[in-house]
Structure 1
Amino acid sequence: MFLPVTGLDENGDEGRRAGRRPRAWRVAGFALAGVLVVGAAAGGWAYWHLNDNIKSVDINGALGDDRPPKPVPSVSASTPEPPTEALNILVLGSDSRGGAENRALGGGDSEGARSDTAMVVHLDSGRDEATVVSIPRDTLVTRPSCPTESGGETAEAYGVMFNSAYSVGGPVCAVKTVESLTDVRMDHYIEIDFSGFARLVDALGGVTVTTEEDIDDEDSHLTLPAGTHHLDGEQALGLARTRYGIGDGSDLGRIGLQQQLVKALLEQISSRDLFSDPTRLYEVADAVTGSLTTDTGLDSLTELVDLGRSLRELSSAGTRTVTMPVVPAPSDRNRVVAREPDASELWESLR
């Protein structure tokens, strides 16, 4: 729920290329690379600590060959060197209650976790263009059978909420469900949890947002009058989780709030001169790495730095943000299903 998630653009249009928002993506890429490079350059204990912060899951090993094929980049005679490989990254925000800090921020002692937010981030070959597609958590899907840590398999399920995949099978099942829904191969996986997001906001000195209506949500523990507010980490998390306290109470409304919050967060990153403040820079690096779970292809500082550096050519004109097209589900008006053929055409465009 806490990395860049967007729905319709500011004018209410799907897929329109944006202005300042994509620029922030570029800034965020540089910031990630810079934070991790400095952490690595600190040497010794700092490098070990930041590297050891990152948790990982062997998704490729768990899924094997039972997944969409990986596209092979084409090379023309006029282009002797192959282009940079295109990448699809599944980014999840989890509402894990693991650990006392997450339970306190999550508002209770409930067990397990769900994927509160999901995005497919597609980086074109060359990394100078990107498409970010949000998948509403309330989307009803067919959840495929998924491998479990004990060596068994979960049962295939029909017409279940998208976020149930993470609940029953963790990152592996989340990836397999997205690949089943989209027929797009996920090259990497990145997850951030409650406490990590709150720590990141606090490390950056908070974020400033403007709300157009009063918010009073018992579930997210957030009460804000309409207006401009500077939020600390816990308040920002409450805003990201707010659903029933604003608009029609739908998941699509929450995605809109998350979009506004992430813009504010990225603007805060771009406005901070982190390199002139080593203490704050390390706090941000510690928050970033300490909150992440990745696949085994991104579970080191070196690999994360390489990913951040590869985004150096990503420009505002080359980034597109959309929400998967959906309509209310016939069986339950509080849920949604993919709107066809629009959703299939969107995933085909990524393939």
Structure 2
Amino acid sequence: MENRSRHSAGRAAILANPVRNPEGASARTRSKRALFLLLLTLFVPGGAQVVAGSRRLGRAALTVTLCCWFALLATAALALLNRGLLIDLLARPTVQLVLAVVLGLLAVGWLVLFINTIALIRPRLLAPGMQAIVSTATVLLVLATSGVLGYGTYVLNTGRQTIENVFASGPAFDPVDGRYNFLVMGGDAGANRVGLRPDSMSIFSVEATSGKTAVISLPRNFQNAQFPSSSPLKQVFPDGFNCGNECILNALYPTVEANYAHLYPDAENPGAEAMMDAAEGITGLKIQAYVLIDMAGFADFIDAMGGVTVTSGGWVPYNGKYWEGTRVRTHWFEPGRHTFSGKQALWFARSRDFTSDYHRIRRQQCLQQAMINQFNPQTVLTRFSQIMGAGEQILETDIPQDQLGSFVNLAGKARQSAFKRLTLGAPDFGTAAERFSTYPDFDQIRARVKTLLAEASATAPTKAAAPSKSPGGSSGDSSESPSGASSATPSSSSASSSPPGAGNVAKEDIPTTQPDGSPITEAYLVQLELAGQTGLISTIASNNDECSAD
């Protein structure tokens, strides 16, 4: 009798507990219970099962929840104490694969808990209106939890695949004299590389501890490129790549691909290896890796970033549709602040009509600095999939996967200081008319490079400012500017000459108004071209290499 009485009392207590047995509860209590169990599953996964369902399942889920909270706290502590190590870990494909699997399992587990919670709620016991509310809330909570974790799995796997497809295998390399030196080239990096000529060539020299960066731009029409004694091309071109206009620097890539690829038997890209050797021979810097950017896909990458913003100091021409009733197709970006789409940025970077290759080099430097400034964590997080998809299409590099974490960390530091920059031609080495690129002085180049690196290392962190321009003559110390970033110039097999008025025009001599005193407009420039006044157009456009990165 006593045992039966105790059993009855226990059963009565259970029935009196509306959380576990809602049958005898009021409609209002059932509604509160339903919302309570959903919120428990959201904030304390496993909690609903402990209080209203299978305690075994609930305790297992709570254990996983506590482990996740511990992992998040440990990650936050590591981010505060050693951010570089955290970035290095997260950039490793193996770590990304493990995290993707973990997030996928958590997404499935959380979904199972919500399904079980709905079973515990027993929607048929709820009023019709509350059934709709609970159903809608459950769908939204599942999207906010399992959906977000599932998307995280996709993002991590996309990043892992991109890294594995773009970056090389093998161990990370050490800095040389405290700096990483790598060659960045822009060209048509498609599968068929026959005849490829790099549009742009720059050496990025990054201090390993601070991220302070110097950028040395190599004009495409640079002649007599030298090779270090360690290069197999030293035997082929003992006096340098010096056969005149046929042997300008950007012709080296297709020449090696077509005729001397056998000299680089272990290289996946002999042309790129040859360009690294030439960059090393020219500057005296040890070049450790290369990055080849497909300029045709460059526009997609900028679009993936949401555009890029720069401030142009002068009028920049580009070719578009023919103006109605004319054979003129020149259009113009006016001076001022622009947020360019990918296609517009490519026009801005490649334009050299009415000016010179060196104007284009400085605009490309500015544009690349702007991209680095704007390639921040917020952009990456909000546009990760687009950026990863575009990156896989446009990048080729021999930088090892294991190096990526340290380089991403350095990129963050690099944004804190304006780049120091130097162009191995006008205006940093005389004027375009003096043709330093045709008759280079390598002793002078190497001395200036050493000075540049010393200045870059000493540069205090500062917000990038508009570049100063030195008309005519060396710009040595004025090379600190946000427009410092990369290099270059589009391909053509012969050196180009500067059009009249393209260089060495004093700023005060550049017209800013029409003869009647009204401001210069695009329509006015079109009329000048129709009238054949290209010299005046060149003078008006002569400062379009002045550019600053936002």
TM range (shorter): 0.5 to 0.7
Residue 165 of structure 1 corresponds to which residue in structure 2?
252
**How far, CA to CA, are the matches of 1:283 and 1:37 in structure 2?**
18
Mapped contact 2:222–2:438 kept (Cα < 8 A): yes
Residue 306 of structure 2 corresponds to which residue in structure 1?
205
Residue 61 of structure 1 corresponds to which residue in structure 2?
none
2:254 counterpart of 1:254: no
Residue 51 of structure 1 corresponds to which residue in structure 2?
163
Mapped contact 2:188–2:296 kept (Cα < 8 A): no
**How far, CA to CA, are the matches of 2:176 and 2:435 in structure 1?**
41
Seq. identity, %: 24
Question: Which amino acid in structure 2 is aligned with residue 338 of structure 1?
Answer: P
1:124-139 counterparts in 2 under 5 A? 124-139=207-222
Mapped contact 1:122–1:131 kept (Cα < 8 A): yes
**How far, CA to CA, are the matches of 1:252 and 1:57 in structure 2?**
36
Question: Which amino acid in structure 2 is aligned with residue 166 of structure 1?
Answer: Y
Structure having the higher Rg: 2
**How far, CA to CA, are the matches of 1:230 and 1:318 in structure 2?**
20
Question: Which amino acid in structure 2 is aligned with residue 303 of structure 1?
Answer: Q
1:112 to 179, 192, 195: 195
Question: Which amino acid in structure 1 is aligned with residue 306 of structure 2?
Answer: G
The structure where helix makes up a greater share of residues is: 2
Which segments of 5 or more consecutive residues in structure 1 lack a partner in the other structure? Answer: 1-29, 59-69, 74-84, 100-109
Residue 291 of structure 1 corresponds to which residue in structure 2?
394
2:405 counterpart of 1:305: yes
1:1-351 counterparts in 2 under 5 A? 37=91, 40=96, 41-42=99-100, 45-54=157-166, 85-96=178-189, 112-142=195-225, 144=227, 157-158=241-242, 159=244, 160-169=247-256, 170-218=271-319, 223-227=331-335, 228-245=337-354, 249-270=355-376, 272-275=378-381, 277=382, 280-295=383-398, 298-300=399-401, 302-314=402-414, 316-317=416-417, 319-324=419-424, 325-327=428-430, 333=435, 336-339=438-441, 342-349=444-451, 350=453
SS in 2 for 1:240: helix
Post-superposition offset of 1:196 = 3.2
The structure where strand makes up a greater share of residues is: 1
Question: Which amino acid in structure 2 is aligned with residue 117 of structure 1?
Answer: S
Post-superposition offset of 1:312 = 5.0
Mapped contact 1:203–1:287 kept (Cα < 8 A): yes
Mapped contact 1:210–1:229 kept (Cα < 8 A): yes
SS in 2 for 1:139: coil
1:303–1:262: structure 2 CA closer, same or farther, 3 Å change rule? Answer: same
Mapped contact 2:309–2:370 kept (Cα < 8 A): yes
Post-superposition offset of 1:305 = 2.1
Segment drifting more, 256-265 vs 39-48? 39-48
1:342–1:55: structure 2 CA closer, same or farther, 3 Å change rule? Answer: same
1:344–1:46: structure 2 CA closer, same or farther, 3 Å change rule? Answer: closer
SS in 2 for 1:343: helix
Which segments of 5 or more consecutive residues in structure 2 lack a partner in the other structure? Answer: 1-83, 102-155, 257-270, 321-328, 455-550
**How far, CA to CA, are the matches of 2:210 and 2:197 in structure 1?**
30
**How far, CA to CA, are the matches of 2:356 and 2:296 in structure 1?**
24
1:54–1:147: structure 2 CA closer, same or farther, 3 Å change rule? Answer: farther
Q: Deviations 1:29-70 (Å, cap 9, x if unpaired)?
A: x9xx69x84983546742552134316599xxxxxxxxxxx9
Post-superposition offset of 1:215 = 3.5
**How far, CA to CA, are the matches of 1:175 and 1:348 in structure 2?**
18
Post-superposition offset of 1:253 = 0.5
**How far, CA to CA, are the matches of 1:269 and 1:329 in structure 2?**
33
Post-superposition offset of 1:338 = 3.1
SS in 2 for 1:326: coil
Q: Which has the higher contact order (CA 8 A, sep 6+)?
A: 1
1:293–1:168: structure 2 CA closer, same or farther, 3 Å change rule? Answer: same
Mapped contact 2:303–2:342 kept (Cα < 8 A): yes
1:216–1:185: structure 2 CA closer, same or farther, 3 Å change rule? Answer: same
SS in 1 for 2:195: coil
Q: Deviations 1:143-181 (Å, cap 9, x if unpaired)?
A: 559759xxx968963143121222322101101111111
Mapped contact 2:204–2:214 kept (Cα < 8 A): yes
Q: Deviations 1:289-338 (Å, cap 9, x if unpaired)?
A: 4322112xx243x42223212455546458422223434688x9595443
SS in 1 for 2:199: strand
Post-superposition offset of 1:242 = 1.0
Post-superposition offset of 1:142 = 3.3
Q: CA RMSD in A?
A: 4.1
Mapped contact 1:97–1:113 kept (Cα < 8 A): no
Given the two structures, how large is their TM-score scaled by the length of structure 1?
Answer: 0.63
1:321–1:189: structure 2 CA closer, same or farther, 3 Å change rule? Answer: same
Post-superposition offset of 1:201 = 0.3
